[in-house]
A and B are shown apart, each in its own frame.
Chain A
């Protein structure tokens, strides 16, 4: 088992290494090097730049060195918390990350909690009442959940709430709480705002997980031990909650590998639509203005989150499901 854990951790590190190469390739993708865009911007704003200055900038970024060395310079700086500069925001990339990562993680956390609370309840009751009206309507709703583009869902939700309730949903806090210190009132304000993006981001994964939960619960309910328990006169509630449910809950952990990337992908688009200060809008602005250090850093960070999430879920599964062979 120790061997498995070590192997699993090594694999996660290898994955991160490969991801970093992909992120580096992304940074190198636009034609011309990183200074090209920056020079364009500076020249467009009427600043004169001498060839010496260009050379100086190129040296500063290590652009005169071969590509593999540039990669090691880039990754070496990253270990020191230096992700380069963002000319779009005109500040260090690390500053932007510091400000937005907590927001992103908070949104992801609430979304994941939402996904699991809704999908386990709905999935299990769907299985218990198979072929009932409840079961069919849950099936129908989850079918739609998988078919609507999340940003369209967000837009429709925003429209409906504005039109019929006069509420504009978006942002994390009301103005008066934006810069306030943490308090219970601020937390309550956050909850009043965050439910909308959480529902939108969670929709796809909830629909998916409901299906998984329902199938896994149905599988368990058909097993002979349930019959035995029933024939021995164990109360129905105890049969369900004590045995099959515990086994059926395993997908909670095993679906993390699917849910974390989906939530993070969803967050990118939804945060932009609903005006939330997470990594999403920063990535979009960076991508639209070819601010590649910013883009590369965010792709890297987000992938690191998912790799870490999958690693934790795999290790957790090891302890919760003794049937797993390693």
Chain B
């Protein structure tokens, strides 16, 4: 095709040639507003869990002496309608409802505890190195508590627990996706590059794995985890279980890319110019589908998070005293628990927010890495 015809097509499809590929991707991603919001949410979430000790108002294992306290609301106006610039929470009084013999909490409008930034509270060791007792926000005073999401049966602050749970759950997503990517790229690459019987064998294996329902399989393997294993080893085992069979999708993508790129002119050109196999793969092929790998990684993380949450919820994954979102949701089992203490479900909101964010960012990246695509639905 002549150069002129090329130009014409480019003009017709509004393809820009005056900016680099990387710049195009960036511009395309900037167009996807939802994906940017998702990205910001994710960055915030990860910042929060990285600095969990500082952001959480309490030590997650600290029993505050107020079991099953409903979420406390922040007030700007007191009972007389006066406006306070510094928001405050009311104190709580524990009473027993004599009719149903159940504990209940009454708001004590006599006591007002203003919210402060950088208050001193439970001492902690940030990243096991820095000693401190300063928390991002909280209330001060004898008997003052501030639990924006309420507390559980033992009086643990659910907000602090959700933050620490996020540290585990979000980390599992990242480690899991790393393992999956290594296995997937390796197996997919071998399958696509070697071809022949090897390829056939790998593809059939992938089909077998994909026809097995995952949750029962995970449950079966998780059943074997000894009860007396230390927390760290259980953590590694759970990551392994949920990554063990998750690489099939990525392997397929990588294989497809390898096969289609193998026939490309530029690969042939590199071969003719005397590049060896290794150089061709590393320099010419991988940069061409790195975007697909990145997209695939982004949309795999949610399934890791959901997998861990489901396993731990069932009591087969992580176990207390380890805190993860799944472990937290275990407290919300049974109609009785959720009808009396519905706030125990709130940690699930963190799961939903992070999963949605990853999915949206994945969508945005998919569009961005295909900047020459003309038809879009």
A to B contact number (C-beta, < 8 Å): 148
Is B268 an interface residue, CB under 8 A from the partner? no
Q: Which listed residue (A19, A149, A156, A272) contacts B309, Cβ 8 A?
A: A149
A residues in contact with B333, CB < 8 Å = 155, 273
Known: A11-B204, A147-B355. A264 touches B221 (CB 8 A): no
| Interface residues as binary, A20-56 with B (CB distance below 8 Å gives 1, 0 otherwise) | 0011001001110000000000000000000000000
B residues in contact with A266, CB < 8 Å = 215
Cα–Cα, bound, A288→B345 (Å): 23
Is B212 an interface residue, CB under 8 A from the partner? yes
Q: Which listed residue (B216, B222, B223) contacts A265, Cβ 8 A?
A: B216
A residues in contact with B215, CB < 8 Å = 264-266, 268-269
Give the nearest-CB partner of A152 in chain B: B348
Cα–Cα, bound, A269→B219 (Å): 10
B residues in contact with A260, CB < 8 Å = 213
Which of A19, A170, A287, A306: most chain B Cβ within 10 A?
A287
Cα–Cα, bound, A257→B248 (Å): 14
Is A103 an interface residue, CB under 8 A from the partner? no
Q: Which listed residue (B220, B313, B339) contacts A26, Cβ 8 A?
A: B220
The contact size tier of chain B is 35 or more
Q: What is the minimal beta-carbon distance from A100 to any residue of chain B, in angstroms?
A: 13
Cα–Cα, bound, A208→B7 (Å): 39
Cα–Cα, bound, A142→B314 (Å): 25
Q: Which of A115-123, A182-190, A247-255, A292-300 contacts B (4 or more CB under 8 A)?
A: A292-300
Q: Is the interface of A mostly helix, strand, loop or mixed?
A: helix
- Asked whether A307 lies within 8 Å of B211 as measured between CB atoms, the reply is yes
Q: Is the interface of B mostly helix, strand, loop or mixed?
A: helix
Q: What is the minimal beta-carbon distance from B291 to any residue of chain A, in angstroms?
A: 21
Is B100 an interface residue, CB under 8 A from the partner? no
Give the nearest-CB partner of B344 in chain A: A155
- Asked whether B211 lies within 8 Å of A163 as measured between CB atoms, the reply is no
- Asked whether A30 lies within 8 Å of B306 as measured between CB atoms, the reply is no
Give the nearest-CB partner of B351 in chain A: A149
Cα–Cα, bound, A289→B183 (Å): 32
Q: What is the minimal beta-carbon distance from A83 to any residue of chain B, in angstroms?
A: 14
- Asked whether A283 lies within 8 Å of B338 as measured between CB atoms, the reply is no
- Asked whether B213 lies within 8 Å of A303 as measured between CB atoms, the reply is yes
Give the nearest-CB partner of B333 in chain A: A273
Q: Which listed residue (A163, A292, A299) contacts B339, Cβ 8 A?
A: A163
Is B374 an interface residue, CB under 8 A from the partner? no
Q: What is the minimal beta-carbon distance from A31 to any residue of chain B, in angstroms?
A: 6
Q: Which listed residue (A144, A268, A303) contacts B211, Cβ 8 A?
A: A303
Cα–Cα, bound, A18→B211 (Å): 11
Give the nearest-CB partner of B349 in chain A: A152
Known: A147-B359, A290-B224. A152 touches B352 (CB 8 A): yes
Known: A147-B352, A155-B332. A295 touches B219 (CB 8 A): yes
B residues in contact with A158, CB < 8 Å = 335, 338
A residues in contact with B316, CB < 8 Å = 284, 287-288
A residues in contact with B286, CB < 8 Å = none
Within 8 A of A (CB), among B275-316: 302, 306, 309-310, 313-316
Is B174 an interface residue, CB under 8 A from the partner? no
Is B329 an interface residue, CB under 8 A from the partner? yes
Within 8 A of A (CB), among B197-211: 204, 207-208, 210-211
- Asked whether A149 lies within 8 Å of B219 as measured between CB atoms, the reply is no
- Asked whether A298 lies within 8 Å of B216 as measured between CB atoms, the reply is yes
Is B195 an interface residue, CB under 8 A from the partner? no
Is A286 an interface residue, CB under 8 A from the partner? yes
Cα–Cα, bound, A283→B221 (Å): 12
Q: What is the minimal beta-carbon distance from A113 to any residue of chain B, in angstroms?
A: 19
Give the nearest-CB partner of A215 in chain B: B377
Give the nearest-CB partner of B223 in chain A: A287
Give the nearest-CB partner of A146 in chain B: B359
Which of A218, A265, A273: most chain B Cβ within 10 A?
A265
Cα–Cα, bound, A168→B211 (Å): 35
Cα–Cα, bound, A261→B211 (Å): 7
Known: A26-B221, A29-B224, A156-B345. A261 touches B314 (CB 8 A): no
Starting from the known contacts A143-B360, A266-B215, A296-B220, 10 additional A-B residue pairs (CB-CB under 8 Å) come to A11-B207, A15-B211, A31-B226, A149-B310, A150-B310, A152-B329, A261-B213, A273-B333, A287-B223, A290-B224
Q: What residues of chain A have their CB less than 8 Å away from a CB belonging to chain B?
A: 11, 14-15, 18-19, 22-23, 26, 29-31, 130, 143-144, 146-152, 155-156, 158-159, 162-163, 168, 170, 215, 218, 257, 260-262, 264-266, 268-269, 272-273, 283-284, 286-288, 290, 292, 295-296, 298-299, 302-303, 306-307, 310
| The 10 residue pairs across chains A and B that have the minimum distance between CB atoms | A29-B224, A287-B223, A265-B215, A261-B213, A152-B348, A26-B220, A264-B213, A147-B355, A147-B356, A30-B224
Q: What residues of chain B have their CB less than 8 Å away from a CB belonging to chain A?
A: 204, 207-208, 210-217, 219-224, 226, 302, 306, 309-310, 313-316, 329, 332-333, 335, 338-339, 342, 345, 348, 351-352, 355-356, 359-360, 377
